[in-house]
Structure 1
Amino acid sequence: MGAEAEVIVPVQQTITTVLDVPCCSDVDFKSPDTTILQFVPSIRSGSFADIGPRRFMEDEHIRIDDLSEHLGSLVRFPQPCAFYGVFDGHGGPEAAAYVRKHVLRLLFEDANFPQTSEVDDAFLKEVENSLREGFLLADLALADECNVCSSSGTTALTALVLGRLLMVANVGDCRAVLCHKGEAINMSQDHRPNYASERRRVEELGGFIDDGYLNGVLSVTRALGDWDMKLPRGSASPLIAEPEFRQIILSEDDEFLIIGCDGIWDVMSSQQAVNLVRRGLRRHDDPEQCAKDLVMEALRLNTFDNLTVVIVCFTSVDHSEPSQSRQRRLRCCSFSAEALCSLQSWLDNSGSR
């Protein structure tokens, strides 16, 4: 899988306490902590998708562990460089399928993505602006695409790793959750009508919330596509494609990232998902199996939606502790020489009877 972009769609196949996640302006690259400087993420990933109880599969996803190799030798990015995305479609699968197919071109070519081998504040701002432009270009492309119905749309959550930087861009209600020393850190905000900030923005733009739905129709307040709710083009709409960003400088305490569609988060909390994945990685160190386990758990909990999970590991699991524990247990069970002699004598006497 490595550098290969992949879509896995087998037909069978609340939020906990959040630490302060730095915003773009909060990250200082001039005087980073020495430990962070020495840490280099070791990237590997796994994914799994299932149609769930729905009649049609509308989820799409992409995972690329080596973005530089995938895009070619002409691009220069800090290393490691990886890219992941989950796209949860609605009103048909067309919008999600289109965005997944064209996302690399839209974000890294059409949006003039900046290139450098070093990460600093200026580059960071350029990356954020470029990704924002790419999301808006994707939204406009859906308006012009004749094969995409005007009532078809998709949420979009992308995660970009550039060296030690993790940047998450989100439109909609997919969610990214970082495991930091076992604690779930939400790296995205669900864009749903029940969140006060989104409700306020919607109402200021002339929209309304009816029974938890935007204008009585849509369960999210941000999405790509859905042009039947945005026309005429250029007019102010309560449904927007503007992404929100969260970012963090990764350290050795950051173990993995879970990216999942809302079918996962409708039935479990961020912390529950982190606990399940962490246990799995400690058992078998297989992110693909952990992604499947998370999907199967959501099905067991009676989710009503399609299911897609991508898990990105930043560190290798340390297996030394279990082996040391086994050694301790073996030492505790060892016999002294005197005890062994007594046992052998007893066995000899028993055999002679």
Structure 2
Amino acid sequence: MVPEAEIICQQSISMLDVKYHLCVAQEHIVKVEVSPTSPTPSVPIFAHAVSCSEIIKDSMMETPAKMFIPNVRSGSYAEIGPRGSMDDEHIQIDDLACHLGFVFKYPIPSAFYAVFDGHGGPDAAAYVKRNAMRLFFEDADMLQSYDDDTNTLFLEKLEDSHRRAFIRADLALADEQSVSSSCGTTALTALVLGRHLLVANAGDCRAVLCRRGAAVEMSQDHRPSYLPERRRVEELGGFIDDGYLNGYLSVTRALGDWDLKFPLGAASPLIAEPDVQLVTLTEEDEFLIIACDGIWDVISSQVAVSLVRRGLRRHSDPHQSARELVKEALRLNTSDNLTVIVICLSPIESIAESCPPQRRRFKACSISEEARNRLKSLIEGN
């Protein structure tokens, strides 16, 4: 067994004051790469006990981070698992600037990934995936202003834009006639922009960063068992029954599910507002795993990181590593759909070099009495 060394990231986020008018940007038709195992074909979409905040602030001040540029590549894998239907969706874009149709002044990595875990049917997850670019990158011009010396104000605007994107997606589901009000989805997004990684999460999908072999959780599972969420729910008039929000839902944050939410503008026990974490990447950051809860129900963050790390050292294939993680969760009898994206941030050589050398194991053996006497005579003869 691999010992667990998990870091829990906690960050409280105030409620957003959002106007309920959706400004829809002009369509840009692009295609998103989807895992071959996804039940939905590719469709066009629009163009260890320190606080996580302390880790992020410290890493942003480190000199080596300014010299590090991520080498981004990814692989994904999804399976229906033991469920009767596949309600997961995911997005995998290794070159976001190309998909959005712009070029940075200086070449920098830009990538976008997301996992959506639907409930009450697949419609909410499928809708958010189809409209992801319109919902999450309404202001694509802002991304073009990024450079290596980006200031704190820009990064704060970037965080705020993703918080508002989740609210925008939630409101769009409220107005979408093709999606039932009893249908919803959890959502987790990961944006790589230059040397920065931004993760936004609402629900129980999870993002885990591998930092020199140690698992750093970049998101918080929003479940009724998580005490801050339980308190928030109860303060707003909700209740927890047998681990379920209002006796019905196993998460406390999600997009959609409008039959469980209060009218627009009213504070609700079930919310769509995400937790957002921003980190400055360094050469110690090897890869990121994002996955739906079908993985995390049976595999801890540290075990997942160790499994993927061993796989990448062996075959250097993030798709194969994602598949191995899914197969391990199935072996451990997960009861849910399974979706994983592995995003490599450093060359495979740096992952191998950072691992301690393996000890050679010598097999003990015995020799006969005759051989022992002959060896003794040879030694004494010299």
Q: TM-score range by the shorter chain?
A: 0.7 to 0.9
Gaps of 5+ in 1: 329-353
Distance 1:171-1:188 versus aligned 2 partners, 3 A rule: same
C-alpha displacement at 1:22, in angstroms? 3.1
- Match in the other structure for 2:152: 121
1:312 aligns with 2:343: yes
Equivalent residue of 1:37, what SS? helix
1:134 aligns with 2:161: no
Q: Which whole-Å CA distance do the structure 2 matches of 1:126 and 1:317 have between them?
A: 33
CA contact (8 A) 2:174 2:258 kept: yes
Cα deviations by residue, 1:210-265 (Å, 9 ceiling, x for unpaired) = 00000000000000000001142222210000010112111111000000100000
- Match in the other structure for 2:278: 247
The normalised TM-score by structure 1 is 0.84
Q: 2:99 aligns with which of 64, 70, 92?
A: 70
C-alpha displacement at 1:122, in angstroms? 0.5
Q: 1:268 aligns with which of 289, 292, 299?
A: 299
Relative to total residues, which structure has the larger helix share, 1 or 2?
A: 1
Distance 1:210-1:158 versus aligned 2 partners, 3 A rule: same
Aligned Cα root-mean-square deviation (Å) = 2.6
CA contact (8 A) 2:190 2:197 kept: yes
Distance 1:126-1:34 versus aligned 2 partners, 3 A rule: same
- Match in the other structure for 2:288: 257
Distance 1:123-1:262 versus aligned 2 partners, 3 A rule: same
Q: Which moved more, 1:195-204 or 1:33-42?
A: 33-42
- Match in the other structure for 2:79: 50
C-alpha displacement at 1:294, in angstroms? 0.2
C-alpha displacement at 1:303, in angstroms? 0.2
| Equivalent residues, number | 317
Cα deviations by residue, 1:2-41 (Å, 9 ceiling, x for unpaired) = x9622226279xxxx4654337993786xx4331111110
- Match in the other structure for 1:103: 132
CA contact (8 A) 2:56 2:280 kept: no
Q: 2:242 aligns with which of 206, 211, 215?
A: 211
- Match in the other structure for 2:326: 295
Equivalent residue of 2:37, what SS? coil
Distance 1:265-1:239 versus aligned 2 partners, 3 A rule: same
Matches within 5 A, 1:1-353: 5-8=32-35, 10=37, 17=48, 20-22=51-53, 26=57, 32-73=61-102, 79-109=108-138, 113=142, 115-118=144-147, 119-318=150-349
Q: Percent of aligned positions with the same letter in both sequences?
A: 61
Distance 1:86-1:76 versus aligned 2 partners, 3 A rule: farther
CA contact (8 A) 2:56 2:278 kept: no
Equivalent residue of 1:259, what SS? strand
The code of the aligned residue for 1:198 comes to: E
Q: Which whole-Å CA distance do the structure 2 matches of 1:24 and 1:111 have between them?
A: 29
CA contact (8 A) 2:102 2:144 kept: no
The normalised TM-score by structure 2 is 0.78
Q: Which whole-Å CA distance do the structure 2 matches of 1:77 and 1:206 have between them?
A: 51
CA contact (8 A) 1:78 1:162 kept: no
Distance 1:225-1:9 versus aligned 2 partners, 3 A rule: farther
Equivalent residue of 2:113, what SS? strand
Q: Which whole-Å CA distance do the structure 1 matches of 2:269 and 2:103 have between them?
A: 40
Q: Which moved more, 1:141-150 or 1:20-29?
A: 20-29
Q: Which whole-Å CA distance do the structure 1 matches of 2:166 and 2:106 have between them?
A: 20
Equivalent residue of 1:177, what SS? strand
Q: Which whole-Å CA distance do the structure 2 matches of 1:192 and 1:110 have between them?
A: 31
Cα deviations by residue, 1:147-186 (Å, 9 ceiling, x for unpaired) = 1000000000001111111110000000000000100000
CA contact (8 A) 2:59 2:280 kept: no
Cα deviations by residue, 1:288-331 (Å, 9 ceiling, x for unpaired) = 00000000000000000000000000011118869xx99x9xxx
